[in-house]
């Protein structure tokens, strides 16, 4: 088989350059429906964004280092690893890879590494960890040598695939296993126990679960490296208890294993917890200048403010039309919603309202096989729109996404940055837009370090034109999907009441308007217990009752 073409880092397109914007900017979505399906549009030549200029990429990172070839690391990296990288089409080291391989005091040093989204952090932690095993530190057969913990199932699979690529040319097969929820625990465990899982990529829940078994704990006696990918998230209040519990079940840090923390964002609040994987004297490496904006300089970022949340549905249609007209070739987009049920609603709605696009959905309410299948389909797609929740907000590498849209408030500034990072990966260009209601418009104001500018086109004035399409599409959406989205809307926004400057009664009023915009004749019923859990007991405007027939 011929080797794949070398994958290189691309030079950013000159700002303002929008090739292929020949389509009529005034055509409506309905008119576009007569066009051939976006899937049929001829695929742009790979690399059409311009010739590779690795030096230009490096000059945007701290240090202004020269881009080096992996082949120059022959003294550090095993020949077989270099062969694997070559087979993967990786010729030059990305800045973070170069930094880790040349500036880490030792390949076994504890470290915190920060680099922008999509710049190759996965390979940057895999290479030293695997090299260490190849340098005479391999664990005995059947034992785990490298444990990688990450927040989501999709990311675990993706990291495992990258590990398989990096180890492909090793003379002796190095097995990578995964452990994450939503899959059969029994068969997963059987494969782990019967196999030779030198590398294990896991999410905290399932890992903690299987570590409950003595025979599984036995497999970790020779662990050499523990990696926390998306480290700031793994160490935040949500995940830290599970991570700490896992660390209590594997050999203690004093046994000498290496701790590595990688992320595009680092929150000083988590540094205290990071000490459970890092010994004092650990190395901090960053390719991000503290004075630099935390997102990619290659991603123009815009916000659109609509008067009320009920207009966001039509505003998204107007935005998609606008962006598609600007650049119809390879129109590959991710639209982030705030909750799984909200995203489910988006899917049902836009399936009807945007039939000319191939639509994908990904959120935690889907079965794991469906999630895995869609992830692969969207990775492979040259165009289409993925509506997604934060299950793919971090770490996921969907090649050639040109636009990221966020609808509603992201859960944090960091989450905003990671979602934006689903575009402009591996040296490519991208754009990002966030649609907010008036109430949510504090987000750009309190995030001054983000290069957020008003969207250059008046989308709000286009909302009425798209409202009919939205209303019609909602007639085809099941009432239960609307009820779930309504409930999720209440639950999510309840956590932001202060920032939104809303009283509980005002939130319910807003949610009821939202329900009306979905075409609900009256606010959907909510179980009494759910209302209690949301802390909305006694708030007027809610319809308490069971939706079950």
Ligand X SMILES: Nc1ncnc2c1ncn2[C@@H]1O[C@H](COP(=O)(O)OP(=O)(O)OP(=O)(O)O)[C@@H](O)[C@H]1O
Q: Which residues bind ligand X (CB under 6 A)?
A: 7, 90, 92-94, 97, 115, 117-123, 264, 395, 397, 421, 425-426
Which helix (H) or strand (E) element contains residue 303? strand 301-306
Rounded to a whole number of angstroms, the minimum distance from the CB of residue 398 to ligand X is: 9
Secondary structure class of 260 (helix, strand, coil): strand
Rounded to a whole number of angstroms, the minimum distance from the CB of residue 378 to ligand X is: 14
Rounded to a whole number of angstroms, the minimum distance from the CB of residue 491 to ligand X is: 27
Rounded to a whole number of angstroms, the minimum distance from the CB of residue 334 to ligand X is: 12
- Inter-residue contact 7 to 89 (CB < 8 Å): yes
Cα separation of 403 and 323, whole Å? 8
| 92 vs 455 by CB, closer to ligand X | 92
Secondary structure class of 97 (helix, strand, coil): helix
What DSSP designation does 134 have?
Answer: I
| 251 vs 399 by CB, closer to ligand X | 399
| 100 vs 534 by CB, closer to ligand X | 100
Rounded to a whole number of angstroms, the minimum distance from the CB of residue 107 to ligand X is: 18
Residue number, nearest CB to ligand X: 120
| 154 vs 208 by CB, closer to ligand X | 154
Rounded to a whole number of angstroms, the minimum distance from the CB of residue 65 to ligand X is: 14
Which helix (H) or strand (E) element contains residue 58? helix 54-59
Cα separation of 184 and 410, whole Å? 32
Q: How far is CA 300 from CA 41, 166, 180, 233, 290, in A?
A: 25, 33, 35, 25, 20
- Inter-residue contact 505 to 540 (CB < 8 Å): yes
The CA-based diameter of the chain, rounded to the nearest angstrom, is: 70
| 397 vs 414 by CB, closer to ligand X | 397
Rounded to a whole number of angstroms, the minimum distance from the CB of residue 418 to ligand X is: 6
What DSSP designation does 5 have?
Answer: P
Cα separation of 227 and 277, whole Å? 9
For the record, the structure tokens of 2 come out as 């011929």
Rounded to a whole number of angstroms, the minimum distance from the CB of residue 114 to ligand X is: 10
| 416 vs 492 by CB, closer to ligand X | 416
Rounded to a whole number of angstroms, the minimum distance from the CB of residue 83 to ligand X is: 15
Cα separation of 417 and 267, whole Å? 13
Alpha helices in 337-478 (DSSP H): 340-353, 368-380, 413-420, 442-446, 463-474
Q: Which residues contact 11 (CB under 8 A, 6 or more apart)?
A: 49, 50, 51, 52, 53, 56, 57, 427
Cα separation of 533 and 515, whole Å? 20
For the record, the structure tokens of 430 come out as 């991208």
| 320 vs 424 by CB, closer to ligand X | 424
């Amino acid at each position: 088989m011929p080797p794949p073409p070398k994958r290189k880092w691309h030079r950013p397109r000159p700002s303002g350059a929008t090739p292929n914007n020949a389509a009529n900017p005034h055509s409506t979505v309905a008119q576009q429906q007569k066009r051939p399906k976006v899937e049929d549009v001829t695929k742009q030549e790979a690399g059409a964004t311009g010739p590779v200029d690795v030096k230009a990429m490096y000059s945007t990172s701290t240090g202004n280092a020269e881009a080096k070839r992996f082949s120059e690391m022959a003294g550090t990296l095993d020949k077989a690893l270099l062969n694997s990288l070559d087979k993967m089409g990786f010729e030059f080291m990305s800045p973070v890879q170069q930094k880790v391989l040349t500036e880490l005091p030792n390949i076994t040093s504890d470290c915190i590494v920060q680099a922008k989204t999509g710049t190759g952090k996965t390979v940057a932690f895999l290479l030293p960890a695997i090299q260490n095993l190849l340098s005479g530190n391999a664990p005995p057969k059947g034992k785990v040598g490298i444990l990688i913990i990450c927040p989501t199932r999709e990311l675990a699979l993706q990291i495992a695939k990258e590990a398989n690529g990096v180890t492909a040319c090793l003379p002796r097969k190095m097995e990578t296993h995964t452990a994450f929820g939503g899959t059969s625990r029994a068969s997963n465990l059987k494969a782990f126990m019967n196999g030779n899982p030198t590398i294990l990529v896991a999410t905290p829940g399932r890992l903690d679960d299987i570590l409950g078994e003595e025979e599984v704990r036995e497999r970790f006696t020779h662990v050499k490296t523990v990696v926390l990918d998306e480290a700031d998230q793994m160490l935040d209040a949500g995940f830290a208890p599970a991570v700490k519990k896992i660390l209590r079940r594997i050999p203690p840090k004093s046994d000498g294993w290496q701790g590595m923390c990688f992320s595009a964002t680092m929150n000083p609040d988590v540094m205290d917890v990071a000490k459970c994987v890092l010994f004092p004297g650990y190395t901090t490496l960053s390719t991000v200048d503290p004075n630099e904006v935390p997102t990619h300089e290659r991603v123009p970022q815009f916000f659109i403010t609509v008067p009320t949340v009920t207009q966001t549905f039509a505003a998204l249609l107007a935005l998609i039309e606008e962006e598609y007209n600007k650049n119809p070739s390879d129109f590959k987009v991710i639209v982030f919603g705030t909750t799984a049920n909200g995203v489910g609603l988006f899917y049902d709605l836009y399936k009807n309202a945007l039939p000319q696009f191939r639509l994908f959905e990904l959120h935690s309410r889907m079965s794991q096989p469906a999630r895995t299948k869609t992830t692969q389909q969207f990775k492979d797609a040259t165009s289409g729109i993925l509506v997604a929740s934060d299950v793919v907000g971090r770490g996921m590498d969907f090649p050639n996404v040109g636009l990221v849209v966020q609808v509603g408030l992201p859960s944090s500034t960091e989450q905003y940055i990671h979602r934006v990072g689903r575009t402009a990966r591996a040296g490519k260009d991208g754009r990002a837009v966030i649609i907010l209601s008036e109430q949510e418009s504090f987000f750009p104001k309190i995030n001054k370090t983000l290069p957020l500018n008003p969207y250059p086109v008046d989308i709000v004035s286009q909302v009425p034109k798209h409202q009919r399409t939205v209303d019609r599409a909602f007639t085809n959406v099941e009432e239960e999907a609307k009820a779930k989205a309504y409930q999720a809307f209440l639950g999510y926004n309840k956590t932001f009441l202060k920032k939104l400057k809303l009283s509980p009664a005002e939130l319910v009023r807003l949610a009821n308007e939202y329900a009306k915009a979905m075409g609900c004749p009256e606010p959907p019923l909510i179980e009494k217990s759910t209302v209690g859990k949301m802390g909305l007991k006694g708030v007027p405007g809610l319809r308490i009752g069971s939706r079950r027939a």
